[in-house]
Every structure is written in structure tokens, then in C-alpha cells.
Amino acid sequence: MEVPQQPIPVTILTGFLGAGKTTLLNRILKADHGLRVAVLVNDFGSINIDAQLVIDVESETISLANGCVCCTIRDDLLQTAFTLLERPQPPEYLIIEASGVSDPWAIADTFLLPELRTYFRLDSVITVIDAEYVHRQPSYESLIVEQISAADIVVLNKIDLVPSDQLTELEAWVRRIVPQARILPAMYADVPLRLLLDVGRLQHRMPLPHLVVAAESDHHDHDHHDHDHDHGSAFATWSYVADQPFTLHAFRRVILDLPPAIFRAKGLVYLAEVPQRRAVLQLVGSRVQVTVGEPWGNQPPQTQMVFIGLPGQLDETTLRSAFDRCLIEHEAGTTESVALQQTWQRPQVSSANSNADGDQSIVS
């Protein structure tokens, strides 16, 4: 393999579920940077919804689904990185959107391995924080703190949803975790691009000596942060796919009736009222948005949704039959018009704040 003249800069985008990573990624991709950017998007669930929500620009989006790039599919990440290098026109910049459950330290370490360090230069880790929910996820506090602690840049997002005194406290809390990081308060991840890309904040970071030794024998052996990596036991995910449409009314009822243990859902929805266009579902805590978007194009209309919640509390049979019951025949259609943007509030859902047993310790 030819060594690129300049190692390709890599930005790792991390942050808890629903914090605004895809929102930030889309902003970066839409911006006028003139770079050939490759994007690796990693969803934890079996369907990679994120890859479908990333805007379609010149950049290329590669999806790494059904596992987490920081552990179970870390070898896929290595492999994909090498594949990018073998292209006739390798990317000039690489952005990795990690799944909301991943440990950015482990991803950063992958790029510090001797095999990759010649070709890639880790530029920075950007951690996106949901200012509204960051302190309302006690079950995942240690994971969130870990994600923040890896940051060179913290995008303190969703500032429209919190009062200013709370924001000041939050900023001080983040500052205590990462004193050297640059903190950028933002709404819809709107931050100047020059503060995000090619900032070179990680150039000082060196691989930990034992990691180099571990890498020579086994790429999986990267647990230097003593992080219990069993995402499977920390989160439950469930996916739903259907080829028939829902009526908006019935869909709304099921969504608002979801168990409080589900704190994140996203996906594409086939609605009978707007059959030619894909609707996008976004659920974070109590906030739900359904936005009618692009036409389905060549893709046949299909609902594809992922639900994430506390382990042991997603009753798949009940969920499936609740959604199945509101499917209608394609031909039935409906002429009702709907607003292009729906905003709903779920009752009694404040956060992923506790599970039934009161066991808060998820990530050790």
C-alpha cells in the first residue's frame, strides 16, 4: 500500500444517545470545506438508521452496524480504514460517528495503533452533550463521563432546552471533567466549522505503551480504562420493520404509549397520509418529533425503527403487536393532510433514570 503524503486527519464524534451527533455531522458535511470526506457511521442496533439520516452530499458514508466500533466490531473499523486507503482517491478527511453507547477512548486507541498511525492522524475527539438530559441519565452517568473525558472539544448542545443558570453549572461540571477541552455551547450543533475540523488537538496524544504491546498480539485487548464493555447488558435494543403503512393517528398513539424504559428511538416511517415521502421519527426522552422528509426515491417505502432502553424492560412481543395492530393495507390509503413536522410529548418519561430494581450500576 502506498503511504499517503500526509496522514489523513480523523475526527471522532461521540456523545450519548440522542445528544446531537448526527445533527452535527450533517452540519459539517453541508459546510463548504472543499474536502473529500469519508464518514463511518456506527449504530449499535441491527439496522443502521444513522447512515440513512446522514445527508447525501459528496462525501461517502459507510455504515458499520450491529455492534459497537469500540469493541465488538473494532476489527471491522480497522478493515474499513485500510479499504479507504486502497481507493484510487483516498479520502482527505475521515469522520467517525460513534454509536451513542461507545467508548471514544477505545476508538481513538485504534487509530494510534502502529499499523494505522502511518496513514491516519487522529485530529480530535468531539463529544456532544445533550444539555437537557445529561444529568437525567444516572444509569449511564459513568459512560457519559467517560465520553466527556475523552474530548478535545465538547459541543454543549440543546442549550435552547435549559435555563441559563443550569447551563453555567453544566459548563463548570464539564470543565472539571476535561479542564483542557474547548467547550462550545450550541443549538442544533451550530458551531463554526473552523473550530471543529483539522484543529490538531490530539497530536500530542501518544498510544499507551501497553496498548502497543497488546496490539501486536490481539486487537481486542484494549481495556485500559477498566471499562466493562458489555453494552449488551447495559442497553436493550429492539428493531421493527414493516412494509405496510401506519396512519399517523394510530402511530402517535403507540409511540405515546411506549414504556418509559425506552428513552431513545429513531427511524424511517411509512405513513399512509404521505406515502411518497419518508417520515423520520426522533424520540429522545420525553421529546418526540416526526418530520416528513425526502421522497422514498428508488427505495420501496418501508418503516424501519430502532428502540433503545433499559435492559430487561423491553417486552418485544407486546411492542411488536402494538405496532402491528396499527398497520393498514397499502390500498386503504387516506387523503387526510398532515403537518410536515409533528412534535409530541410523552407522558411520565423524564429520562432513563432508574430501572425497576433500582440497580443504577451499568458501566463499571
Ligand X SMILES: Nc1nc2c(ncn2[C@@H]2O[C@H](COP(=O)(O)OP(=O)(O)OP(=O)(O)O)[C@@H](O)[C@H]2O)c(=O)[nH]1
* Least distance in angstroms from the C-beta of 25 to ligand X: 7
- Return the closest-CA partner of residue 301 out of 270, 333, 335, 268: 270
Q: What is the identity of the amino acid at 336?
A: E
Give whichever of 144 and 215 is closer to ligand X, judged by the CB atom.
144
Tell me: does residue 344 bind ligand X (CB under 6 A).
Answer: no
* Least distance in angstroms from the C-beta of 218 to ligand X: 28
Give whichever of 19 and 112 is closer to ligand X, judged by the CB atom.
19
How buried is 248 (Cβ within 10 angstroms: 0-12 exposed, 13-18 middle, 19+ buried)? buried
- Return the closest-CA partner of residue 64 out of 55, 117, 74, 340: 74
Using alpha carbons only, give the angle 337, 338, 342 rounded to the nearest 5 degrees: 175
- Return the closest-CA partner of residue 155 out of 285, 352, 288, 14: 14
Tell me: does residue 95 bind ligand X (CB under 6 A).
Answer: no
How many residues belong to the chain? 364
The partner residues of 156 in beta bridges, in order of sequence, read 129, 185
- Return the closest-CA partner of residue 152 out of 188, 187, 128, 132: 128
Tell me: does residue 23 bind ligand X (CB under 6 A).
Answer: yes
* Least distance in angstroms from the C-beta of 269 to ligand X: 13
* Least distance in angstroms from the C-beta of 116 to ligand X: 24
Indicate which single residue of 100, 104, 285, 301 sits in contact with ligand X (rule: CB under 6 A): 100
Indicate which single residue of 9, 20, 267, 309 sits in contact with ligand X (rule: CB under 6 A): 20
Indicate which single residue of 289, 302, 334, 355 sits in contact with ligand X (rule: CB under 6 A): 289
Q: Total residues at the site for ligand X (CB under 6 A)? A: 22
Give whichever of 289 and 302 is closer to ligand X, judged by the CB atom.
289
Residue 135 in grid coordinates: 444529568
Q: What is the identity of the amino acid at 363?
A: V
154-213 residues near ligand X, rule: CB under 6 A: 157-158, 160-161, 187-189
Give whichever of 110 and 127 is closer to ligand X, judged by the CB atom.
127
Q: Residue 22 and residue 171: Cα distance in Å, rounded?
A: 22
Residue 315 in grid coordinates: 417486552
Tell me: does residue 121 bind ligand X (CB under 6 A).
Answer: no
Cite the DSSP H helix spans in the chain: 21-30, 49-53, 74-85, 104-111, 114-117, 141-149, 164-177, 209-217, 231-234, 248-256, 316-325
Give whichever of 62 and 208 is closer to ligand X, judged by the CB atom.
62
Phi-psi group of 34: left, alpha or beta (phi > 0 → left; psi -120 to 50 → alpha; rest → beta) = left
* Least distance in angstroms from the C-beta of 126 to ligand X: 11
Give whichever of 65 and 274 is closer to ligand X, judged by the CB atom.
65
Q: What is the identity of the amino acid at 325?
A: R
Q: How many CA atoms lie within 13 A of 225 on its CB side?
A: 23
Give whichever of 153 and 215 is closer to ligand X, judged by the CB atom.
153
* Least distance in angstroms from the C-beta of 120 to ligand X: 23
* Least distance in angstroms from the C-beta of 190 to ligand X: 8
Tell me: does residue 284 bind ligand X (CB under 6 A).
Answer: yes
Give whichever of 170 and 214 is closer to ligand X, judged by the CB atom.
170
Give whichever of 23 and 247 is closer to ligand X, judged by the CB atom.
23
40-59 residues near ligand X, rule: CB under 6 A: 50
Of the ranges 87-95, 238-246, 282-290, 326-334, which one interacts with ligand X (CB under 6 A)?
282-290
Q: List contacts with ligand X (CB under 6 A).
A: 15, 17-23, 50, 100, 128, 157-158, 160-161, 187-189, 264, 282, 284, 289
